[in-house]
Chains A and B, each alone.
Chain A
């Protein structure tokens, strides 16, 4: 993913925003903490032409209420996802997200549960069919996820 290209793209997408604040007043996260304010996130993007590595965008719950209600059709979800993608490429993904990706890499799924078969057999459920790990690993490798994981390991070393 070309960071500059993606950044230019979301700045264009944010352009119609006239700062009405409907997104923020619809946001469940902003309702309980000032950490994430979608209106300001959009404003910052347009004003500063860049993404500050604040990590705040990770608090977005992706409920899409903001996008649903935005009167100018700004695709906030896509913008916030892209901001997180860029943040991840810079080594800024939260550790719980990194753990999930590691689990995906080694198991092909994110959820893990000890005694899974016993739990399922209590309800007479068929054995769960699991994906081929090598296929998942290969696809993650091809799409650059392993490189992004490594950039997080490097960040840890620096810190």
Chain B
């Protein structure tokens, strides 16, 4: 399998260790990732709010670039997924939009006809590769208890994305279970992490995060698991700001799903990946190189 890889700005610029874990896991599963000069997806909360027309045409440039290369897009960011999938829907369901974006693309020597699709890592792993196949690659049971947060932009709008149940998502729980992890049920599982309103109302955005953290920590998990880089940053870095603003004392480690998968697969370079985290988690890396070392130390 081969995809045009769309890391998204948040991962590529701010969370490169997440990108690393996606690349490690993809290689292990035989997925080839092709890098292309994509622009910002564009980020829906800012660009689409500012101008729907600019949003649509800039998204069309990304879709056209993938189409030019004969590839479907694979992304690790739920915001990019929603933006591109929604734009694709807007363009392909309305002939006037198809005409409009092609007029604009013509000015930069590109065109779009709508043949290629866009999926998220979540969909690749659960819907295309499947739990059983992933299980065959698991070498180590991770044995922690977690709360999962799939992310608003993966779940809604459901009629277009169809990634998981928008009110009661279960697939990410299944994906952690196959790694030996226990997913815990918790209140407000589908509630937003607060990122979406951060630019417009900082205080409200952290108050939303406070509410979400309260629900998550109520069931005493070892960590939170996400599939979106913005949610990752919101939880991992945001909890410190919540603590400062509201006098709470949260210290919840956060993992992006492919990091856990890479740990369970015992892939190399995971030490470096985990060193990118600000809140140190309960898991450390075991890879073919340090496995022997560990055994020597223990014996």
Chain A residues at the B interface, C-beta cutoff of 8 Å: 1, 28-29, 31-33, 35, 58-65, 67-68, 77, 81-82, 84-85, 88, 93-94, 96-97, 100-101, 104, 108-113, 116, 119-120, 122-126, 128-132, 135-136, 138-140, 142-145, 148
Q: Which residues of B contact A135 (CB under 8 A)?
A: 39, 61, 108
The answer on a CB contact under 8 Å between A148 and B51 is yes
Q: Which residues of A contact B195 (CB under 8 A)?
A: 61
The answer on a CB contact under 8 Å between A94 and B199 is yes
CB of B104 within 8 Å of the partner chain: yes
Say how far A142's CB is from chain B's closest CB, in angstroms: 5
Say how far B208's CB is from chain A's closest CB, in angstroms: 5
Q: Which residues of B contact A35 (CB under 8 A)?
A: 201, 204
Q: Which residues of A contact B200 (CB under 8 A)?
A: 58-60, 94, 96-97
A-B CB pair tally, cutoff 8 Å: 197
The answer on a CB contact under 8 Å between B52 and A100 is no
A82 to B50, CA, bound (A): 9
Q: Which residues of B contact A126 (CB under 8 A)?
A: 35
Report the 9 A-B pairs with minimum CB-CB distance, sorted nearest first. A61-B196, A111-B9, A32-B207, A64-B156, A63-B192, A111-B13, A84-B49, A131-B39, A58-B200
Known contacts A64-B156, A144-B53; decide if A123 and B207 are in contact (CB<8 Å). Answer: no
A100 to B229, CA, bound (A): 18
The answer on a CB contact under 8 Å between A61 and B192 is yes
Q: Which residues of A contact B67 (CB under 8 A)?
A: none
Chain B minimum-CB-distance residue to A1: B53
CB of B107 within 8 Å of the partner chain: yes
Return 5 A-B CB contacts under 8 Å, by A number: A1-B51, A33-B204, A61-B197, A131-B39, A138-B107
Say how far A70's CB is from chain B's closest CB, in angstroms: 12
